């Protein structure tokens, strides 16, 4: 919506009233540490808390990704909202009178601000209407179904506000519009009624369905899920997208589960409303449902705010549809899972049951379910098992197919130790109990993984490369190059910013080896450093430590670019330790930059060499052969150089 400029008095009052701990704790699990609070950063994946909130300063800062600011900035970043939108929301929350600089726009502003409140009121009225209808004669069949087949008592029905939509066409419409006087357009915007095709009036969207209200994090009704009692399709019907309801960003029962998720440091995701309700009914409260869709990345990030160790268990149905849903969910969040930013497990209940059925038909169902949660396999174990189920590994074609799919799964693992573990795990699975086959299978899987990580060499060229004594492997993959560059360039820039006495050393070594900053955020910061030093040369000669503050002043001019390098302006304990042996750190970082440069040159030479023909391009063939040899020789020298370094800088991957 078009938001007028806010009066400074309104902004000042909001800043004075807001408490950053209250704001942040709604989205991040915070732990008290001294005067401050710490938690897992909501803006990037991490395993150990580096996100700090200071009540005294009313500021937050993450040492992991470098983001920081006030409560208003936090809400802007977390909700992707503008400054004015956040201030208006906070003003409404703290009951601060809103003043604008354009008096003629105040009436429109108040109308827009009240729209959401009116929708909340309409949906709350609808929920009460459905609850009342459930206990009327027309809702008797629905109530008996809930009590006899779903085993829901009155307390649970009240807790989840379960209701019934009458089978008639206009009952809710007449109640809300004619009796309660709600604007028909707003009732339509709330997703409760639809216009007739004839253009003459409206009819109820939900009819003859059990109605399950969907709440937001604050417990307000934002939509409904309706289960058909008869043969009407679809069996489950959700509210449409509305100004309040976004299915892909909402989790059912999160308002009732988030405290338990934080306390138990674990979240369980089920497919259906009744699965979630059934588990809450027996005292398992750290459970949400995914609204009948594959778990999205937005929903996963929402959950990760409440679990410090990032433990998520997907309990989808064990039938084909449930397996497909689980695989689709894994696909949505695969990047987080592969990077270890989520500890993802998959639970399939025995005999293909869903959670509701399992609790109903299993003696001591709640206790058994908890035990199954503890033993749920990691997502990659589950996916590997899915590849093997139903396959005859004694048949060569099926064995080959499974092995190739396994390699594609393991290829994406970034942690070397984790990859080694899974190679052995898969080799044991593929061996079918023949232990003598495991070492050979390990070697075969590792070879296939290595093949994916290097530039492919034509089969006909391999013998020629070998005859000319040319190395055919490439030392680093492109992803490894990027990681090495990121760490090395960041270290050099951090030293330059925080150790003024070594600035000339860094310039000299970069010039001597003809090295450049390759990554765009680092290249941008280096250009800003050179510009600032040129403009403020006399100031920096007297006060070299002012370089950082002068650079930070450029945040106004380059806000998007500077936020990407802001983390370099701050030192935590670990980063300070990295700089204790600065000369050696500089040499090591420079060597890493040189490794990447030579590795790229070697890869380019091999690619060009492969394209040429000895008969028609003998000189070029020899030229690139020499380039390969030269690069290989220099990479060996750099390897030896790093091995002799007595400094163990853990952030640099082995060359």
* pLDDT tens column, 108-157: 656 666 788 899 999 999 999 999 999 999 999 999 999 999 999 999 99
Give the contacts of 655 (CB within 8 A, at least 6 positions apart): 475, 476, 592, 595, 635, 638, 639, 642
164: left (phi over 0), alpha (psi -120 to 50) or beta: beta
Neighbours of 323 (CB within 10 A): 17
Each residue of 390-400: b (16+ CB within 10 Å) or e? eeebeeeeeee
Please provide residue 289's backbone torsions phi and psi, each rounded to the nearest 5 degrees.
-125, 155
Give the integer Cα–Cα distance in Å for 67 and 65. Answer: 6
What the block records as the tokens of 127 is: 């929920």
Give the integer Cα–Cα distance in Å for 495 and 425. Answer: 43
Please give the pLDDT value at position 4: 60
Nearest to 377 by CA among 426, 343, 410, 411: 343
| CATH class name, domain 8-101 | alpha beta
Q: What is the four-CA torsion angle of 149, 155, 157, 158, rounded to 10 degrees?
A: 170
pTM above the 0.75 mark?
no
311: left (phi over 0), alpha (psi -120 to 50) or beta: beta
Please give the pLDDT value at position 276: 97
* pLDDT averaged per 10 residues in sequence order, the chain, 655 residues: 68 86 86 85 84 86 87 87 85 80 62 79 97 96 95 95 96 95 95 91 96 92 94 89 90 92 91 95 95 79 81 84 81 80 90 89 93 93 91 89 89 79 92 87 78 47 52 57 79 90 89 80 88 85 87 79 83 68 82 83 78 74 82 78 43 33
Give the integer Cα–Cα distance in Å for 358 and 36. Answer: 44
Give the integer Cα–Cα distance in Å for 649 and 655. Answer: 13
Give the domain ranges of the chain: 8-101, 108-245, 249-376, 385-452, 478-644
Nearest to 227 by CA among 276, 273, 169, 269: 273
Q: What is the DSSP letter of 243?
A: S
108-245 homologous superfamily: DNA primase, catalytic core, N-terminal domain (3.90.980.10)
Task: Answer whether 8-101 and 249-376 agree in fold.
Answer: no
- List the helix and strand counts (H, then E) for the chain: 30, 15
Strand, helix or coil at 150? coil
What the block records as the tokens of 190 is: 């709330």
The answer to whether the CB of 325 falls within 8 A of the CB of 304 is: no
Q: What angle do CA 492, 498, 503 make, to 5 degrees?
A: 60
Nearest to 223 by CA among 237, 233, 209: 237
What the block records as the tokens of 525 is: 């910061």
What the block records as the tokens of 208 is: 């003859």
Give the integer Cα–Cα distance in Å for 222 and 225. Answer: 11
Q: How many residues make up the chain in this entry?
A: 655
In the CATH hierarchy, which fold is given to the domain comprising 249-376?
Dna Topoisomerase Vi A Subunit; Chain: A, domain 2 (3.40.1360)
Tell me how far CA of residue 547 lies from CA of 362, 497, 525, in angstroms: 68, 7, 12
Give the integer Cα–Cα distance in Å for 326 and 295. Answer: 8
Give me the residue label for tokens 């380059």.
558
Nearest to 401 by CA among 431, 381, 430: 430
| CA R_g for the chain | 31
Q: What are the start-end ranges of the H helices in 160-253?
A: 171-173, 184-189
Neighbours of 7 (CB within 10 A): 15
Q: What angle do CA 301, 304, 309 make, to 5 degrees?
A: 145
Give me the residue label for tokens 């998520």.
312
Whole-angstrom distance between the N-terminal and C-terminal Cα of the chain?
Answer: 53
DSSP 230-251: SS-SSSEEEPPP-SS--GGG--
32 membership: H or E segment, kind and range: strand 31-33
Strand, helix or coil at 609? helix
The answer to whether the CB of 407 falls within 8 A of the CB of 445 is: yes
Tell me how far CA of residue 585 lies from CA of 215, 348, 595, in angstroms: 53, 50, 15
Q: What is the DSSP letter of 177?
A: I
DSSP 305-330: TS-TT-EEEEE--SSHHHHHHHHHHH
What the block records as the tokens of 75 is: 């809400």
Please give the pLDDT value at position 112: 62
Query: CB burial class (10 A; 0-12, 13-18, 19+) of residue 536?
Result: middle
Tell me how far CA of residue 37 lies from CA of 60, 246, 310, 576, in angstroms: 9, 31, 19, 22
Strand, helix or coil at 9? helix
pLDDT, one tens digit per residue, over 59-91 is 899 888 888 888 999 998 887 778 888 888 888
């Amino acid at each position: 919506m078009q938001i007028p400029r806010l009066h400074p008095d309104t902004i000042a009052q909001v800043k004075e009233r807001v408490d950053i701990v209250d704001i942040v704790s709604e989205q991040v699990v915070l732990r008290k540490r001294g005067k401050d609070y710490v938690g897992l950063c909501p803006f990037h994946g991490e395993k150990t808390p580096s996100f700090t909130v200071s009540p005294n300063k009313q500021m937050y800062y993450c040492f992991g990704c470098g983001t920081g600011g006030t409560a208003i900035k936090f809400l802007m970043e977390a909700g992707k909202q503008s400054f004015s939108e956040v201030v208006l929301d906070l003003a409404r929350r703290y009951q601060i009178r809103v003043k604008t600089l354009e008096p003629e726009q105040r009436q429109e502003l108040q109308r827009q601000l009240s729209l959401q409140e009116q929708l909340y009121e309409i949906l709350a009225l609808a929920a009460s209407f459905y609850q009342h209808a459930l206990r009327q004669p027309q809702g008797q069949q629905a109530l008996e179904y809930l009590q006899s087949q779903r085993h829901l008592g009155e307390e649970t029905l009240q807790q989840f506000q379960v209701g019934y939509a009458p089978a008639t066409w206009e009952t809710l419409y007449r109640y809300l519009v004619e009796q309660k006087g709600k604007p028909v357009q707003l009732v339509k915007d709330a997703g409760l009624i639809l216009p007739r095709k004839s253009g003459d009036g409206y009819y109820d969207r939900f009819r003859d369905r059990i109605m399950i209200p969907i709440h937001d994090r604050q417990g307000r009704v934002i939509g409904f899920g309706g289960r058909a009692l008869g043969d009407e399709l679809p069996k489950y019907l959700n509210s449409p997208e509305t100004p309040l309801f976004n299915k892909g960003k909402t989790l059912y029962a999160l308002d009732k589960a988030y405290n338990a998720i934080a306390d138990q440091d674990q979240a369980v995701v089920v497919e259906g409303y009744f699965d979630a309700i059934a588990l809450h009914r027996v005292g398992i409260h750290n459970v949400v449902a995914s609204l009948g869709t594959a778990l999205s990345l937005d929903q996963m990030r929402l959950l990760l705010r409440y679990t410090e160790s990032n433990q998520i268990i997907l309990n989808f149905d064990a039938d084909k549809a449930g397996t497909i849903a689980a695989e689709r969910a894994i696909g949505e969040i695969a990047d987080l899972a592969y990077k270890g930013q989520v500890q993802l497990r998959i639970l399939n209940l025995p005999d293909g049951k869903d959670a509701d059925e399992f609790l109903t038909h299993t003696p001591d169902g709640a206790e058994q379910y908890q035990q199954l949660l503890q033993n749920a396999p990691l997502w990659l174990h589950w996916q590997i098992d899915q590849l093997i189920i139903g396959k005859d590994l004694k048949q060569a074609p099926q064995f080959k197919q499974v092995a190739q799919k396994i390699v594609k799964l393991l290829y994406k693992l970034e942690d070397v130790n984790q990859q080694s573990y899974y190679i052995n795990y898969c080799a044991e699975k593929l061996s079918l109990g023949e232990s003598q086959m495991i070492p050979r299978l390990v070697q075969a899987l590792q070879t296939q993984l290595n093949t994916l990580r290097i530039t492919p060499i034509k089969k006909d060229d391999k013998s020629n490369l070998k005859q000319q004594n040319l190395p055919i492997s490439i030392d680093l993959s492109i992803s490894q190059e990027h990681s090495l560059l990121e760490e090395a360039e960041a270290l050099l820039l951090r030293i330059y910013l925080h150790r003024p006495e070594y600035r000339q050393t860094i310039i000299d070594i970069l010039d001597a080896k003809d090295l450049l900053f390759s990554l765009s955020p680092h290249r941008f910061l280096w250009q800003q450093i050179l510009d600032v030093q040129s403009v403020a040369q006399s100031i920096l000669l007297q006060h070299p430590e002012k370089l950082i503050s002068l650079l930070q002043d450029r945040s106004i001019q380059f806000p998007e670019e500077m936020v990407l390098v802001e983390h370099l302006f701050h030192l935590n304990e670990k980063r300070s330790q990295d700089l204790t042996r600065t000369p050696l750190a500089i040499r090591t970082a420079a060597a890493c930059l040189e490794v990447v440069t030579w590795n790229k040159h070697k890869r380019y030479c091999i690619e060009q060499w492969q394209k040429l023909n000895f008969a028609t391009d003998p000189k070029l063939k020899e030229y690139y052969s020499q380039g390969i040899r030269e690069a290989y020789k220099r990479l060996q020298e750099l390897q030896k150089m790093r091995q002799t370094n007595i400094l163990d800088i853990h952030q640099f991957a082995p060359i």
